[in-house]
Amino acid sequence: MEFIFIKTSYSTFSKLYIEEIKQSLQHEAVLAVESAKNHNLQEMHIPFNTISSRFTLIDANGVVIYDSDEHKQENSLDNHLSRNEIQQAIDEGAGFSIRKSGTQNVKKAYYAIPFTDNRNQKYFFRVSDNFDKIDIKLYKILF
């Protein structure tokens, strides 16, 4: 009986944590868009220096313009247009996914929203955070 309770509790807490991290990333993405409105493309990353989450600016073709964790290697990053959160953002206006990062090889939660700058150029702002730490928090709570 205890095992069933723990499994049910883990599932319930996991859903709550997923929703919490989604809302947190959504909040950061919306702030990013609002902040970026005051900057040109070369300066767009400046407002995100204070965000603790990973931030990625992606153009409409999926090319990474800026990545806060991989800023020295933007040109070497894969095209991001087919990423789940980007496709969902195209289809629904915002996208969320949890998956293994192709760049950092760790499980991450991603939130992406489209953005059009003052020159009518389309981009995606994507924020992400390590998801593994969520699993660790849940484990500590339940065990």
Question: Taking the chain, what is the end-to-end CA distance rounded to the nearest angstrom?
Answer: 15
Sign, Cα dihedral of 91, 35, 123, 96: negative
The rounded average pLDDT for each run of 10 residues, N- to C-terminus, in the chain (143 residues) is 53 80 89 74 64 84 85 70 96 95 84 89 90 67 61
Q: What pLDDT is recorded for position 5?
A: 47
Record the pTM: 0.80
CA 21 vs CA 83, 103, 106, 108: distances in Å: 19, 21, 16, 11
Q: What pLDDT is recorded for position 1?
A: 45
Q: Within 10 A of 89 (CB to CB), how many other CB atoms are there?
A: 24
Asked if 109 and 22 touch (Cβ cutoff 8 Å), the reply is yes
Q: Considering only the C-alpha atoms of the chain, give the largest distance between any 2 of them, rounded to a whole number of Å.
A: 61
Q: What pLDDT is recorded for position 136?
A: 66
Q: What pLDDT is recorded for position 63?
A: 92
Q: What pLDDT is recorded for position 13?
A: 73
